[in-house]
Amino acid sequence: MGGRLLKCVLCAAGIPIGVAAPEAVIFDRLTYHEPPKALPAGAVTEDWPRFLGPRHDLHSKETKLLKSFPEEGLRKVWEVGRGTGHAPPVVAGTRLVMFHAVDGRETVECLHPETGKRYWKFDYAVRLGSSFGIEDAPRSGPVIDGDLVFVVGVRGDLHCLELASGKVVWKMNLEKEYGPAPLFFGRGGCPLVHGEQLIVNVGGRICVGGFDKRTGRLLWSTKHEWNASYASPVPALLHGKKRILVFTGGMVDPPAGGLLSIDPDNGKADDAFPWRARMFASVNAASPVPVGNAVFVTESYTEGGALVDFAADGTAKLRWKAERFGSQFTTPVAHEGYLYGVSGTGGTEIVCYEVKSGREMWRDAMDLQGARLGRASLLHIDGAFLCLGAQGTLLWLDLSPAGARILAQTQLFRAPETWGVPTVSRGLLYVNRNAFGSRLICYDLRGK
């Protein structure tokens, strides 16, 4: 690929992978409150190494979580001051990785999940701008895979770091290598680790690239006129074949984009299903949701949602369209034959649709006792749905085809733009507060 763009630090700087990992230490932005409760006996726990969860489907197997909130609210374990950005933290074992922008530098930090102490920090200068009055800032969450962590910055800086030490394994700038990808707020889609590959919706001269995750070498590319989006690639099994689903679409006029089903062995696209709002100022940002041999995609500006059937030969065909199921950037959850999501450009209602028929079962604006749902996120965990509202409201919900019921509600804080899927691992909840003093806060969600 050329030393100009791909730099292996093992050779360039003589730093071997496997250097002694630093100890976690207290640092100036950390406020520690109190230790969490012990994990309940028999509790099942999982890592949360990517923003859609352990299996890319917003489901977690964690059990014995706190289902009734104390009147005084959830207990804080620790909090860390952070810069700007909506990238959610990820957790694997004793490592939590956060990604944000501080004083013109994109910053990756690795913390201890239970104490907030910091193992290491890595940062680099970045040019940040703004569109529509909204500042550029990291939106693409880190991805942990074994001993490696991957981050993609708003200007296309792709880094592979050693999880234990934060040392650079390799890096490249996607825009210098493949040309600029037209995007409103810089890059925002997460990369996908698939086996030994790192798959990225690149945009520019190639649409999608499959890279060797340990060296950054380009293994294959998918060339298509569609550009990068804010949605993240996800894996799927369609008719027994491994496929990568990429929901594309950049800042182009006339608007263009849609769903690609790609063979991860060679980058060949089986088919391309156009799905993009008819208006220029719009984005494809919710990730594809595979359900059997079909895939649900959604955008909130004009088209709404669509269930796309894939035939055995890979060709795509619309099964049903739901104009009123439009998620601006929150990925819906497929659960037991139904799709649950937050619909509307402002994210005003939770909706339920039957996968088979596309029939709307219900929509509910939620009576939140004065709080506003807004652009909320959902995940299914411990037998219920956990919902984080855009103003910092946390809810346990019972969602079924029969309707929605609030099981518990608490106000973590009151701040706008509380966006992004909440991270849960080993009974601890991690939430970005993005206004009125930006913080990453760890709450104790362990049951008694």
pLDDT in tens, 340-354: 999 988 768 999 999
Mean pLDDT, the chain, as a whole number? 93
CA distances (Å), origin 410, targets 367, 380, 389, 391, 395:
13, 18, 10, 11, 7
Q: Average the pLDDT over 163-177 and give the result.
A: 97
The amino acid at 366: M
| pLDDT on residue 158 | 98
Q: Average the pLDDT over 260-265 and give the result.
A: 98
255 touches 277 (CB < 8 A): yes
Instruction: Give the residue carrying structure tokens 């049951």.
Output: 447
Task: Tokens for 161, please give them.
Answer: 């770091």
pLDDT tops 50 at residue 7: no
CA 147 to chain centre: 20
Task: Tokens for 373, please give them.
Answer: 């749902």
pLDDT tops 50 at residue 313: yes
Q: Average the pLDDT over 56-74 and give the result.
A: 97
- Report the 3 state secondary structure along 168-228: EEEEEEHHHHHCCCCCCCCCCCCCEEECCEEEEECCCCCCEEEEECCCCCEEEEECCCCCC
Q: How far is Cα 168 from Cα 15, in angstroms, rounded to an integer?
A: 9
The predicted-structure confidence for 113-139, as pLDDT tens digits, reads as follows: 999 999 999 999 998 776 666 666 788
Which of 199, 194, 195 has the alpha carbon at shortest distance from 231?
A: 199
Q: How far is Cα 300 from Cα 303, in angstroms, rounded to an integer?
A: 7
CA atoms within 13 A on the CB side of 2: 8
Which of 323, 281, 330 has the alpha carbon at shortest distance from 302?
A: 323
Confidence of residue 165 (pLDDT cuts 50, 70, 90): very high
Contacts of 133 (CB under 8 A, 6+ apart): none
CA 45 to chain centre: 20
Q: How far is Cα 221 from Cα 198, in angstroms, rounded to an integer?
A: 12
pLDDT tops 70 at residue 16: no
Q: Containing H/E element for 12? A: helix 9-12
| pLDDT on residue 77 | 98
Q: Average the pLDDT over 386-408 and give the result.
A: 96
| pLDDT on residue 138 | 87
